[in-house]
Amino acid sequence: MRLEHAFTVYAILGYNPSMVSLRKTLTTAHNALESAGIAHALIGGFALAHFGVHRATQDVDFIADGGRKAEIIAALTQAGFQLTHDLAEALHFEGVGNLDILLARRPISKSMLSQAKKMGAEEIKILGVEDIIGLKIQAYKNNPKRLLQDQADIQALIEHNPSLDWTKVKHYADQFSEWPTIEKLKQLIAKKS
């Protein structure tokens, strides 16, 4: 239900021109990966929306079993996507729509993927909010240009999800020596309340 809510909110906020394309991208990619039996879960802007944070997005993002990279490429290509970037940690596709696949290769990302839960009528798995925060930390540490947006997303996730598993968040943050940053965000939120 929340995914449908995300499409509605995005339309109201004026992010409508590509909404039909995003919906088609989401369902086509999910159906292709599901049919191939490839573990995958939603991340990115639509995952944020599921957890109460709405912002513009121009693509669909999934995390998928990195051990099945060739099968992911084959399934999505057969579904009408064209592979445009083939990196060690991620794949980017165009065609049906813009699609990014983060490859779960390490134990921590494999664990995230194994714990993903199905959501709504779509039956699409989504990572937990703590996992999304962990990926956001990793993203801005790997690419400092993302710092402001990813920290804003983390702050919003904290604000909208008060019952976070802080032990899990700390575990992810400590992987990148970012726990002090997360504590500062928590303090900012507490001051606003």
Amino acid at the residue 140: Y
CB 117 within 8 A of CB 105: no
pLDDT band at 119 (very low <50, low <70, confident <90, very high): confident
Q: How far is CA 66 from CA 105, 146, 171, in A?
A: 5, 23, 22
pLDDT band at 187 (very low <50, low <70, confident <90, very high): very high
90-94 vs 40-43, strand pairing mode: unpaired
Which 3-state string (H, E, C) describes 128-185?
CHHHHHHHHHHHHHHCHHHHHHHHHHHHHHHHHCCCCCHHHHHHHHHCCCCHHHHHHH
The answer to which of 3-7, 54-58, 110-114 has the lowest mean pLDDT is 3-7
Instruction: For residue 136, give both structure tokens.
Output: 């956001």
pLDDT tens string 128-158: 999 999 999 999 999 999 999 999 999 999 9
**Whose CA is closest to 104, among 74, 68, 130?**
68
pLDDT tens string 166-179: 999 999 999 999 99
What is residue 124's three-state secondary structure?
Answer: strand
Mean pLDDT computed over every residue of the chain? 90
Instruction: For residue 48, give both structure tokens.
Output: 């944020």
Residues 6+ apart with CB under 8 A from 9: 49, 54
Question: Residue 23: what pLDDT?
Answer: 86
- Residue with the two structure tokens 């990926």: 135
The region, left, alpha or beta by phi > 0 then psi within -120 to 50, assigned to residue 107 is alpha
